[in-house]
Amino acid sequence: LAKPQASLVSTTCPYCGVGCGIDVVVKQGEQAEKPGSLQLSQLSGSSDHPANFGRLCVKGSKLLETNSNVGRLANPKIMGKNADWPSAINKVATTFSDIIAKHGPDAVAFYVSGQLLTEDYYVANKLMKGYIGSANIDTNSRLCMSSAVAAYKRAFGADAVPCCYEDLELCDVLVLVGSNAAWTHPVLFQRIERAKQRNPELKVISIDPRITATSELADLHLAIKPGTDVALFNGLLAYLAANNGLDQNYITQFTQGFEQALSQSQQWTISNVAELCDIETQELKTFYQTFCQADKAVTAYTMGVNQSTRGVDKANAIINCHLASGKLGREGCGPFSLTGQPNAMGGREVGGLANMLASHMDLDNPIHRDIVQNYWQSPTIANKAGFKAVDLFDEINKGKVKAVWIMATNPVVSMPNRDKIINALKKCELVVVSDCVASNDTIELAHVVLPATGWSEKDGTVTNSERRISRQRGILEPYGESKHDWQILCEVANAMGFAQGFNYSQVDEIFREYAGLSGAQNNGQRDLDLSALATLTVQQYQRLSPLQWPVNQQNPQGTKRLFTDGRFYTQSGKAQFIPLTYHAPEQLTTVDYPFVLNSGRIRDQWHTMTRTGKTAELTSHISKPYVAMHPQDATRLSLQEGALIKLSASHSNEQSAVVLMVTIDDKQRKGELFAPMHWSAMNSSHGAITSLFTDANDKISGQPELKHAAVALEPV
């Protein structure tokens, strides 16, 4: 596509699922060596972008600094040595083809990322599922929101987020569960703060084991024992039933399975929920009363719900309460999963998860498989789910998956059980990494490294937490020899003999194809429908304004809220209650491993710090890894502020133990620790805390339990 000529280019921030719009001032470069090249000189929040209306958080506002080319990967490498593109593409294509010929399509895999643009994701998914013929493509979004996806599918028949950001401002009660939005979704949190200033009647309830910047805004904070959410919301369902909080008309007209779900919840009284969750009875009662009496309520949730062996059940326990009280499908209402990554939702849309097809179609539905294969005119179509992230690395470890292509992510730091990931990659016959950075813990183990374009160069679309598709516009020329991810994928596909489906010359062609697929034989039967965008011209694609899907004939300007007519995407058209049983987390403490370890993010860093770690202004907020501990625990162990302690878990060995500095913090619950997840063995001498988490994951979603490990402490 031609580069925009205007001095102001609107694009999106790549650092979280809020998906803020950014205006970048672009000017001609003045350096003698590159006269006339474009430079980004300033940025500000886009005042007309509906996610942020001009606001940015500190990460977004420092994007120009973190966008520097320091540490960029400039050219392909094979076995650590510089290589030209044809050699690198040939190496990847021939090795993949040879392995497939010998061992079948399930012997290869892609592990991709919510950092990819939707068009990149679409091409990766098409190559793996339609041409290679395996569904072995999974994504780091598995670690982010796959439990929320599975819960929406169980309840609504589709991975369809019902709400929009405005609902956070229009509700009477906002319940934030397992979310420190003040640090992880800062611009949304600013919107909540302002809404509360405008409407002091708006009640905010924070449910989080820790006191955080988010819970400090709340009218009520329930510091529940980690992992007890299912009991908490089962108790709310029982309370609604006993206290006139049900919307019987809604239940009768639009739902199924209420009686079973209620019956499963009846054992949860105020007193036994309070006891299990380890909170005051009166506080619990206040929460239940407040939700019950509110006309409009939103429950927003993130990793504290999703990253759990019972993440899907937790999300369904929340959804059950919204269905029972009719708080869904109208202004200021709904169960709202906030995604972590900028394009976690775009990846879901085009089938980036190993258990989905493109355009929210199902792998196990033969009609859907036919629609996709006919549309693609592809030689084959995967007909069973591929390996989800944790299983995928297991299969690599076992030698069943022999080649993996990792795109724009760093699983050696972000996946649990780091030793297993390292061992798996060491055993793998071919590890390919495409990324914009020259080094990280995963690249260290790669045989082939391919330079991909970065934020200011990539061109395409992303979808934020409220289903809003925005353009991320390519502004600068690709750095060094880097190429767009979709281009690299097309070159490999061509070299594997799949030229017919991968001859795109511009990114808008991919978007149109994807939009057309979403509308194929749809007739309102599927939630994701972009058919109104399937005929965009290049110019219209360039100018595309942010829109919430579905965008079709009925809703050409997009759709704010879903399920306003009470019609769902299940076979019966009714929403499903799910009867739920409380189960404790799997990584439980023992006498030898007596502390619960929780992991999470800090305010100014993003993922494994490969980009946000570049600027002192972001590292100055919290500059070193740490572990937060309650003062009474510190006293009991005779630990002072700043003391070094070694953390170990029963499955970890001496090398994977992590040494961290103690921060004494009365915002922690006793017996529980918190450590940020950003640092790794590469950017600190302390190790990566993901080493301390086992493979325990949700049986339905496959999302790992990254909020609840059992660890031992030892002074260093």
Give the bridge partners for 711, in sequence order. Answer: 595
Stretch that binds ligand SF4, among 49-57, 151-159, 331-339, 447-455 (CB under 6 A): 49-57
CB of 114 to ligand SF4, least distance (A): 12
* Cα gap 113→96, rounded to integer Å: 20
Stretch in the footprint of ligand SF4 (CB under 6 A) among 18-26, 373-381, 445-453, 628-636: 18-26
Segment lying near ligand SF4 (by CB under 6 A), choices 14-22, 208-216, 549-557, 652-660: 14-22
Residue 573, token pair as written in the block: 């058209």
E strand or H helix at 282? helix 281-293
Of 534, 546, 488, whose CA–CA distance to 508 is shortest? 534
Question: What is the footprint of ligand SF4 within residues 545-604 (CB under 6 A)?
Answer: none
Q: CB of 340: closest distance to ligand SF4 in angstroms? A: 10
The interface with ligand SF4 within residues 76-105 (CB under 6 A) comprises none
Q: Ramachandran region of residue 676, left (φ > 0), alpha (ψ -120 to 50) or beta?
A: beta
Give whichever of 56 and 639 is closer to ligand SF4, judged by the CB atom.
56
Using the minimum distance from each CB to ligand SF4, give the nearer residue, 147 or 465: 465
Between 187 and 223, CB nearer to ligand SF4: 187
Q: Which stretch binds ligand SF4 (CB under 6 A): 13-21, 329-337, 467-475, 594-602?
A: 13-21
Check residue 679 for interaction with ligand SF4 (CB under 6 A).
no
Burial class (CB in 10 A: 0-12, 13-18, 19+), 112: buried
How wide is the angle at C-alpha 213 spanned by C-alphas 208 and 214, nearest 5°?
55
By beta-carbon proximity to ligand SF4, the closer residue of 63 and 452 is 63
Site for ligand SF4 contains 187 (CB under 6 A): yes
Owner of token pair 């183990």: 445
Considering the complex, what minimum distance in angstroms separates the CB of residue 21 from ligand SF4?
A: 9
Alpha-carbon distance 491 to 503, whole Å? 9
Which two structure tokens, joined as six digits, stand for 699? Answer: 């049986």
Q: Locate 39 and state its tokens.
A: 């430079």
Identity of the residue numbered 464: N
Contact assessment for residue 369 and residue 363, using Cβ atoms and an 8 Å cutoff: yes
Which residue, 43 or 562, is less far from ligand SF4 as judged by CB? 43
Q: Which residues neighbour 366 within 8 Å (Cβ) at sequence distance 6 or greater?
A: none
Q: Is 649 in the site for ligand SF4 (CB under 6 A)?
A: no
Query: Considering the complex, what minimum distance in angstroms separates the CB of residue 266 from ligand SF4?
Result: 41
Q: How far apart are CA 8 and CA 24, in angstroms?
A: 5
Least distance CB 178 / ligand SF4 (angstroms):
18
Using the rule CB under 6 A, is 13 a contact of ligand SF4?
A: yes
Q: Can you tell me the distance from the alpha carbon of 555 to that of 557, in angstroms, rounded to the nearest whole number? A: 5
SS3 78: strand
Q: 412 and 141 in contact (C-beta within 8 Å)?
A: no
When asked if residue 15 is in the footprint of ligand SF4 (CB under 6 A), the reply is: yes
Residues between 431 and 450 that touch ligand SF4 (CB under 6 A):
none
d(CA 431, CA 442): 9
Token readout for 683 is 């950017």
* Exposure string over 488-508, b if 16+ CB within 10 A, otherwise e: bbbbbbbbbebeebbebeebb
Closer residue to ligand SF4 (CB): 194 or 670? 194
Maximum C-alpha span of the chain: 76
Considering the complex, state which of residue 20 and residue 231 has its C-beta at the smaller distance from ligand SF4: 20
d(CA 189, CA 256): 34
CB of 46 to ligand SF4, least distance (A): 11
CB of 267 to ligand SF4, least distance (A): 40
Per-residue tokens: 369: 């498989």
Count residues contacting ligand SF4 (CB under 6 A)? 14
- Residue 568 token pair: 């769902």
Query: Least distance from C-beta 45 to ligand SF4, angstroms?
Result: 7
Stretch binding ligand SF4 (CB under 6 A), from 15-23, 88-96, 163-171, 196-204:
15-23
User: Segment near ligand SF4 (CB under 6 A), from 16-24, 305-313, 532-540, 679-687?
Assistant: 16-24
Stretch (H or E) spanning 546: none
Q: Which is nearer to ligand SF4, 187 or 475 (CB)?
A: 187
Closest CB to ligand SF4 among residues 63, 202: 63
Q: Which of 9, 10, 11, 16 binds ligand SF4 (CB under 6 A)?
A: 16
**Which DSSP letter does residue 337 get?**
E
- Shortest separation between residue 182's beta carbon and ligand SF4, angstroms: 11
Site mask for ligand SF4 (CB under 6 A), range 52-71, x = bound: x---xx-xx-----------
Among 10, 11, 18, 507, binds ligand SF4 (CB under 6 A): 18
In angstroms, rounded to a whole number, what is the distance separating the alpha carbons of residues 681 and 660? 12
Instruction: Find the binding residues for ligand SF4 in span 279-298 (CB under 6 A).
Output: none
From the CB of 457, what's the least distance to ligand SF4, in Å? 18
What type of residue is 174? Answer: L
Q: Which stretch binds ligand SF4 (CB under 6 A): 50-58, 444-452, 489-497, 562-570?
A: 50-58
Between 214 and 487, name the residue whose CB sits nearer to ligand SF4: 214
Q: Residue 190 or 703: which CB sits closer to ligand SF4? A: 190
Q: Does 609 bind ligand SF4 (CB under 6 A)?
A: no
Name the minimum Å distance from CB 108 to ligand SF4. 34
The token duo for 94 is 């021939």
Q: Which stretch binds ligand SF4 (CB under 6 A): 17-25, 26-34, 223-231, 243-251?
A: 17-25
We find the least distance from the C-beta atom of residue 228 to ligand SF4, in angstroms, to be 29
Collapsing DSSP states into helix, strand and coil, what is residue 407? Answer: strand
Tokens of 491: 């070159």
Token digits of residue 636: 């009991």
Nearest CB to ligand SF4, comparing residues 502 and 606: 606
Q: Which is nearer to ligand SF4, 341 or 373 (CB)?
A: 341
Quote the least distance from Cβ 343 to ligand SF4, whole Å.
Answer: 11
> For the chain, what percentages of helix, strand and coil (3-state, to nearest 5) are there?
35, 15, 45
Near ligand SF4 by CB under 6 A, which window of 30-38, 179-187, 193-201, 382-390?
179-187
C-beta closer to ligand SF4: residue 57 or 238:
57
Question: What burial letters (b/e) apply to 288-297, b meaning 16+ CB within 10 Å?
Answer: bebbbebebb
Provide the minimum distance between the beta carbon of 189 and ligand SF4 in the complex, in angstroms, as a whole number. Answer: 8
**DSSP codes, 205-241:** EEE-SS--TTTTT-SEEE-PPTT-HHHHHHHHHHHHH
Q: Which stretch binds ligand SF4 (CB under 6 A): 184-192, 221-229, 492-500, 633-641?
A: 184-192
Residue whose Cβ sits closest to ligand SF4: 60
CB closer to ligand SF4 out of 96 and 183? 183
Cβ of 104: how many Cβ atoms within 10 Å?
13
Check binding of 20 to ligand SF4 (CB under 6 A): yes
43 near 25, Cβ under 8 Å? Answer: yes
CA distance 648 to 689: 9
Site residues (CB under 6 A) for ligand SF4? 13, 15-16, 18-20, 52, 56-57, 59-60, 185-187
